[in-house]
Amino acid sequence: MTGIPLQYNLLTLDPESGVMTVETRKKEKADGAWAADARWGDKNNPVPRYHIELKYGTSSKTDNSSSQLKASTQDNRPNVSQNIFGGNVNVGGNINILASVNQINQIAPQEDSDDPNLKKKDRLREENAVDVIVQRVQSHCCEKIQNLYSKIQLLNRQQIDVDLLYVDVYVLQNSTSDSNATIPGLLKDANLRNDFDRLGLNKRNKRSPGFDAATQHSRLMVLGKPGSGKTTFLRHLAVANCKGEFLGDRIPVLIELRFITNISEFNLLNYIHEEFRLADINQTKEILQQGKVVLFVDGLDEIPSQFRRKIQDHILEFSRKYYKSHLIITCRAQTSEYTLPGFDYVEVADFNPQQVEQFARNWFASLAETQQQAMELTQRFLEKLRLLENKQTGELAVTPILLSLTCWVFNDLQDLPAKRSDLYERGIDLLLDKWDDKRGIRRDSVSEIYQRLTLTERKKLLSYIAKTKFEQEQYILFEQGEIQGYIAEYLHISNEDAEVVLREIEAQHGLLIE
């Protein structure tokens, strides 16, 4: 291809007027920059390097004869006529925006295909062609992410920017194994007083900023207790990607599994292809194979348990096939039924004092009328939180959900309860009644019996379970049959109905977890 610059054409079709606009870009050298060559339409038609004639009907239904693109060379080169897209151009729908580089090459005279310099040029052309598509897809994927996920809603329904919350993680020594999934295995070497909310997780190594862990590990499972900030962390990463602060050269795709309606038929490739809005799924596959995607999968625990193993297997298969892509998954600590080989595991860390202070500043700034008022509220709150008499409350307020609850209680009372029980008493009504409703989660295994219980009756049921269990020497873990028995006994229902009630409590509130 001596003397012929590298070139590609971007086509835009107007189905109503029938006008085609083509933007042509070229390179004079294989390692040079792309530059504009010509732009033409119905009223602006300089002589292009290749003449492209569009023939199609005005109907939205097209076939091979009515949508074929034909190209012929000029400058006394041999005439060649072919469909450079290899298929239909969809008028008024998704548009195959870029002809295959190999197909365009076939239009021009070819030289020795064994020439290593030509092979290098071909490879560069293909990479640049994919980069053009990536930039366009990245643009509309980021537009969606910034519109939907740039803010989070706090318990008091106020919203704050997600990038104002910074999350640290603990890198775990090894992932949890199936051998630990028994009560003796979970209790082995466990400190029940300090580790009851992270049973089943291996020992922590170093504490690390979440961004660092997400950058260093291309296969990452983020574990954490309910309300620890897993979803916030994932959204923060996605928004940061769109700002060029985290893997900014990749296309971000954020999948919230709780919103997948037909989860039993869920397919990652098809979902990503729909997000990309490309006409040809082979383009999506090529982008994935080149590692141009960072995939965020939120809430492995929030899909029905009977489908969880299938989805985990599917994710593992996908990660092996498209191994160059970056994949980050979140899940509750005790929910993952087995490990994903090749994934690194981290656990969301509690807030340190600096993060508590920053969160409080952002929380009060979200509802204060002036910056001065926000500063005064934050200062009074932190002073109360650091008092020795409020030590129990301070030790509790180290996760986004509980710190948000503590800020809310303080804003209402202009004081803090000294006892954890009093703080829980003021917060439990909200968590029992509003948590899943506010998040828009509609989980499986809905129990009509539990739904009919009033808020007071639900609190009494949970109090009965807690009292009965705390009277025993081992008061942290239940066998399923044991807790079903307590529920059946208190509500005077069958064991089968008690199991459904148990699943409802677990799914709605995270107060009991499997």
What confidence tens digit (pLDDT) does each residue in 162-173 have?
Answer: 887 777 777 675
Q: What is the mean pLDDT of residues 357-365?
A: 90
What confidence tens digit (pLDDT) does each residue in 129-141 have?
Answer: 778 889 999 999 9
> Residue 100's Cα: distance from chain center in Å?
31
Q: pTM here? A: 0.61
pLDDT range class, residue 72, cuts 50, 70, 90: very low
Q: What is the rounded CA–CA span in Å between residue 121 and residue 135? A: 21
Nearest 5°: phi and psi at 450? -70, -40
pLDDT range class, residue 184, cuts 50, 70, 90: low
Instruction: Compute how many other C-beta atoms are within 10 angstroms of the C-beta atom of residue 423.
Output: 22
pLDDT at residue 411, rounded to an integer: 84
pLDDT at residue 251, rounded to an integer: 97
Q: Which of 8-22, 246-260, 296-310, 361-375 is least confident? A: 8-22
What confidence tens digit (pLDDT) does each residue in 336-352 have?
Answer: 555 788 999 888 888 88
pLDDT at residue 304, rounded to an integer: 81
* pLDDT of residue 71 exceeding 50: no
Q: What is the mean pLDDT of residues 349-377?
A: 89
pLDDT at residue 57, rounded to an integer: 41
Domain map (residue ranges) of the chain: 6-111, 143-153+163-348, 353-439, 448-509
* pLDDT of residue 95 exceeding 50: no
pLDDT at residue 437, rounded to an integer: 53
Between 104 and 501, the higher pLDDT residue: 501
Residue 397 near residue 404 (C-beta atoms within 8 A): no
Q: What is the mean pLDDT of the chain?
A: 74
pLDDT at residue 12, rounded to an integer: 67
* pLDDT of residue 295 exceeding 70: yes
Bridge partners for 70 per DSSP = 53
Using a pLDDT cut of 70, give the percent of the chain over it: 61
Between 175 and 216, the higher pLDDT residue: 216
Q: What is the mean pLDDT of residues 6-17?
A: 66
Start-to-end CA span in the chain (Å): 64
Beta strands in 211-325 (DSSP E): 219-224, 251-256, 293-298
Give the DSSP letter of residue 263. Answer: G
pLDDT range class, residue 122, cuts 50, 70, 90: low
pLDDT at residue 76, rounded to an integer: 38
* pLDDT of residue 485 exceeding 80: yes
* CATH fold label, 143-153+163-348: Rossmann fold (3.40.50)
Q: Which of 277-291, 323-337, 356-370 is least confident? A: 323-337
pLDDT at residue 61, rounded to an integer: 38
Q: What is the rounded CA–CA span in Å between residue 243 and residue 247? A: 10
pLDDT at residue 30, rounded to an integer: 62
* pLDDT of residue 327 exceeding 90: yes
Residue 299 near residue 231 (C-beta atoms within 8 A): yes
